[in-house]
Amino acid sequence: MQYKSSVFILLVFGILLSSVMTSSGVVSKGQTIRVVQAADNTVSISADLKEIAESSLHSINGQDDDLLNCGTGINYEYNKPILPYISRFIVIPPQAVVRLNVEAEDVRAVPLDSYPPLCLDSELRPVDFVNADYDIYPQSFAEISSPFIIRGVRMVKLSVNPVRYQKSTNSYLFCDNLRATLEFSDGDPVNPVENPNRQHRSREFLKFLDDFAENSDIISRDHPDDPIHFGDHYLVVTHEGCLEYAAPFIEWRRKTGHDVDILSIPNNISRDSDRIKALIQERYDSYLNEGLDPFDQLLLIGDRSNYAWGVVGPWQLEADRGERIWDGANHADYKYALLEGRDNYPDVGFSRFCAGNQPLMELFVKRTIAYEAEPYVEETDWFTRGGVYSQHWGNDEHRAWRISIHSNVRWARELLRIKGFEDVRFYEDYEYDQSGAVIGPWVRDLMNEKTNLLLGRAETLYWQQIFTGVDVNEVFPVRLVLSGHGEYAAWTSLRSGDGDNLRGPVVSTCNWGGPPTITTTATWLELVNSVVQRGMSYGWGRVSTIANVERYFPNFEFGEGWRAYSHIRTDMDFYGDPGLRVWMGVPQQLSVEYPEVVDENATVIEVVVTDADDHSPVAGAFVTLYDPVDIPDFADADYADYSDMRIQMLRTGADGKVQFVPGEDFEFRPESTIQLTAFGDQIRPYFGEIEIAIPEFAVDISATIISEVQGNGDENTNPGETYDVSLTIGNSGEADLEAVVMSISASSPYFTILSEDNIEIGDMAAGSEVELQNPVRVQVADNSPDGEIHITGKPVLVTKFFNETGNSKSGIQFDVIAPHLFMSDVVGGFDMPFNDEVYPLDIQITNDGRLDADALNAELISLDSWLTIINPRSEYPAIAVGESSELGGEVFTVQTDELAYPGVTAELLMVLSRDEIIIDSCFISMEVGGERAEAPQKPDNYGYICLDDTDSNWEAAPEHDWVEISLRDDDRDFDGVLIEELTPNTPFDVGNVAVIQLPFDFNFYGQDYDRISVTTNGFICPGNQEVTNPQNWPLDRGMGGGAGMIAPFWDWLMMDNQSGVYYYYNEEEHYVIIEWHR
């Protein structure tokens, strides 16, 4: 970044800067604080703070409290200096003592001509405020929190204060460079993980952790062979009266591969939150004691103890009191989610059905099923329709309302557009609307017209008591709205209707009381960021919101001794299914082929999943067979503890097919019905049933003998072996069949049929059997994977019997026992130095299969241009089951390409072979050089990097030269064009935006643009975006600004009549310059 005078910014297309948000919604982590090295006993952290400190203070000075943030976070304590605050979350060992060592380099004192800006936000002033006595604030340049635990992962929050204030000298104390080390040792740790080892980690938790912690990859790196559980694992904690009516939701979840445990709470303890919590804790701990990852979604079902208006149902489930601001019913559901460690971080996604009688239970359950399982497809426009809105509320015109409420909400409109929403309705009105008389009908009409998402900052007291004007509907929106007294509209909209009159949102959030604007703004942004942009489930979006808000400010005090963090946990309520995922567009609809009737002796059920429109195979869809067996009636008390249901789940291959083979865990019971479900991410579930009975065409395999022709003779199926399969075919039906033909194929590409594809069976009388004269010969490939571990599963030989009257299928499943090799470590670590020297690379692999691995040749291949392979070949010795090995020959050698930049991740592929046959392969990611000062930041998830004129410590760094285009500068290089639409005078000084047509097209995050939106607040956005937000949020969080914004100087620039924004296009060199001149 370059400056001229005070606020000159040069932006040249062709050098693409880091963006706030990509078109896919994936954004990179922050780079101000960097984990530069992670070892078993230390984590080293680097922070280059000079530029961020100076720009942050510039942002703070002279700003209105309402628009404060400084691109990082802020120390925001009443009557103390407002100073920049940066925090990151670091994973630490589960049971070690942790100590922070800080080296503050280049510390300098800068005297002030006047006193610094103080936090005088009236919303924060504590009732018992005492002018604090301090000399230096904050107390240190860096500190760590007490260790906390989320689902067995222990972490600390590292907080850095780039600037401190010394009152006695009226000086700022700058720390330009900070080096810190987290040191780990044995001893008596604070808040250790009691059960660190567990299997089948929650995918939602890992998604959250990847976004939350700087070194989150250490979890997957330490446990690379740990299978991730596909579905959510629910614990449904319900008042006993609600369970019967919750059962349809529970069974729908089970049919789609989710585990659901039930904890039925008797009426006599349903008002005792301590006893309820103890029962939840007991269930959670039972999984830990077995070494398993516990449930990851907590659904609470039962009514609150009172409402401001409306009748409380008899089936109540009390919450903890928590740290609520206002009186009324207890509502701190988060206390139920604190299940590991002595801390206040939830360990599960959580939410509530606030329903306490049959009509409300049916309303909640049927709305949920209508959105998730059976979304309305007679009209599909609603899937890409959303409403974004903000309101001027408050008990009087100048109370509880800030302009930043509106300026931040605009971001959500651009987010929906870039996410593919085609009809985004937008409401913004600065005029006072206390009762919601104006905004209420606007939202009402949007709901009646069918919409998918409602994103807003509005009280909407239009629905304070009655859900006025909202019709019975087939579509029920996701409502992510936070405000002051938001509880009224949330309760009214959620609890109006019954099972025969469905209306209102499928899920809804709300705030209690009158929270500070700055905390609620950060909370709402993180909520939308987590659920909509990053695709977390509703309940884990809540966990993410609670945890990530701590990035922006310390736990300051406000009001009557309340604390910011506990207020957010207690007074932000979530209602609805915690496992809900938002439809991000029209879901794919499926056509599914399967046998509607099969014999109890059937050996295979083949399911073919295709697109309902073009009939192309759908790869990656999940298919389940669910047999409830002898499930009790939903009203039966035994239903809660019943666990004898059976389920099989497979994922379709490239051909859209799966083959289910019965076994001990899943038998085809006579005269039963199996429920089939096909589903997937952004796929509308398909439901079917398979009857277990004797079909009209009932030809099947009745006997099988498998003989090894060539192999090792160990009675197991191993790679490289050949088998003869002798078959006896039976007609179990009641009809004689003529001219039956059998075809045979393999579900696995690793199996080859050496016999004829079609075999004539001939006529088969009812009840007869035919023994094939010649066996079917099958060859197993040398590189066939282990059937228990590999994603392709156990191979099946599929036999199809047919004639002119019908057909049936059978199957024979093989359990291939083979080695399974994976990359378990890189000797010396996954980081390599950034230089032009040849670097030795030794890779450790582990065999966690069921067969010893022979000696193998290894070849290393670079998948990008960052590393050149000098020595690409080596070999591994034989590796026994459960053992690991490093290279047995010469190590690989690699060299950094001169165009690589520090911190880039180089992707490598190691191919393992024997006798020129590829046996297996491993992917390796190496970080080149680590990040460092005066070098570009590492790329975001799309591959873009950010660099400026300070990044000279890099051989490929371009030369920077200021090109002046302002007409106010007599020494300008070119005559820029003043963008006259960008006038300094706007309501509440939130800034202006102008759309500039470019003389060329450019591609940015995979989308083509021919125009840009230029704001007066130091950033541009691709395309036509009406975002001007002067409140700058950390770029790595991807929120608050424009979609895909380029933000060289995002700030409240406070442009005056002597200021201007200029545009210039260089026709010869084909670049555009935007300059902010003040």
pLDDT in tens, 96-113: 999 999 988 889 999 999
Integer Cα distance of 1021 and 1006 in angstroms: 14
**CB-hemisphere CA count at 13 Å for 140?**
14
Q: Which of 120-124, 484-488, 784-788 comes out lowest in average pLDDT?
A: 120-124
* pLDDT classification of 60: cutoffs 50, 70, 90: low
Look at strands 423-432 and 385-392 and give their pairing.
parallel
CA nearest to 12, candidates 976, 1064, 826: 1064
Q: Which of 247-261, 509-523, 624-638, 824-838 comes out lowest in average pLDDT?
A: 824-838
* Virtual torsion, Cα 278, 546, 375, 379, nearest 10 deg: 160
CA nearest to 580, candidates 375, 368, 334, 365: 368
Integer Cα distance of 385 and 75 in angstroms: 39
* pLDDT classification of 944: cutoffs 50, 70, 90: confident
> Cβ(866)–Cβ(906) under 8 Å?
yes
pLDDT for res 229 = 55
Residue 516 has pLDDT above 90, yes or no: no
Residue 902 has pLDDT above 60, yes or no: yes
pLDDT, one tens digit per residue, over 537-575 is 999 999 999 999 999 999 988 877 788 899 999 999 999
Q: Which residue has the tokens 């009426």?
A: 267
Residue 19 has pLDDT above 60, yes or no: no
- pLDDT > 90 fraction of the chain, expressed in percent and rounded: 68
Q: What residues does 590 pair with on adjacent strands?
A: 611
- The 3-state DSSP composition of the chain as helix, strand, coil percent (nearest 5) reads 15, 35, 50
Q: Which of 24-38, 440-454, 455-469 comes out lowest in average pLDDT?
A: 24-38
* pLDDT classification of 987: cutoffs 50, 70, 90: confident
Integer Cα distance of 99 and 87 in angstroms: 17
* pLDDT classification of 129: cutoffs 50, 70, 90: low
User: Can you give the length of the chain in residues?
Assistant: 1078
Tell me which H or E stretch contains 221.
helix 217-222
pLDDT, one tens digit per residue, over 729-764 is 999 999 999 999 999 999 889 999 999 889 999 999
Radius of gyration of the chain (CA): 32
**Which residues contact residue 347 at a Cβ distance below 8 angstroms, ignoring those fewer than 6 apart?**
149, 150, 151, 284, 337, 338, 339, 340, 341
**Which residues contact residue 991 at a Cβ distance below 8 angstroms, ignoring those fewer than 6 apart?**
1015, 1016, 1017, 1028, 1029, 1030, 1052, 1053, 1055
* pLDDT classification of 10: cutoffs 50, 70, 90: very low
* pLDDT classification of 58: cutoffs 50, 70, 90: low
The domains located in the chain, with CATH, are 11-19+959-1077 (no CATH), 33-202 (2.60.40.3800), 233-575 (3.40.50.1460), 590-692 (2.60.40.10), 697-930 (2.60.40.10)
* pLDDT classification of 68: cutoffs 50, 70, 90: low
Residue 727 has pLDDT above 90, yes or no: yes
3-state SS class at 908: strand
> Cβ(493)–Cβ(460) under 8 Å?
no
Residue 957 has pLDDT above 90, yes or no: no
> Cβ(881)–Cβ(913) under 8 Å?
no
**pLDDT greater at residue 207 or residue 226:** 207
Write phi, then psi, for 531 (nearest 5 degrees): -80, -40
- Number of neighbouring beta carbons within 10 Å of residue 893: 16
pLDDT for res 901 = 77
Q: Which of 29-43, 316-330, 400-414, 902-916 comes out lowest in average pLDDT?
A: 29-43
Integer Cα distance of 925 and 823 in angstroms: 10
pLDDT for res 65 = 52
Integer Cα distance of 437 and 415 in angstroms: 27
pLDDT for res 14 = 28
> Cβ(759)–Cβ(742) under 8 Å?
yes
DSSP label of 666: B
The Cα-based distances of 362 to 252, 771, 960 in angstroms read: 14, 56, 65
* pLDDT classification of 231: cutoffs 50, 70, 90: confident
User: Sign (positive/negative) of CA torsion 538, 542, 543, 548?
Assistant: positive
Which structure tokens are listed for 193?
């993980």
Integer Cα distance of 853 and 855 in angstroms: 7
Q: Which residue has the tokens 């599914």?
A: 592
DSSP letters of 399-449? SS--THHHHHHHHHHHHHHHTT-SEEEEEEEEEE-TT-TTHHHHHHHHHHT
Q: Which residue has the tokens 């369970």?
A: 243
CA angle 358, 479, 1019 (to 5 degrees): 170
Integer Cα distance of 952 and 185 in angstroms: 38
Residue 189 has pLDDT above 70, yes or no: yes
Residue 830 has pLDDT above 90, yes or no: no
Average pLDDT of 664-688? 93
Integer Cα distance of 845 and 557 in angstroms: 52
CA nearest to 741, candidates 651, 658, 803: 803
**Which residues contact residue 675 at a Cβ distance below 8 angstroms, ignoring those fewer than 6 apart?**
255, 625, 626, 627, 628, 687, 688, 689
Average pLDDT of 115-119? 87
pLDDT for res 18 = 29
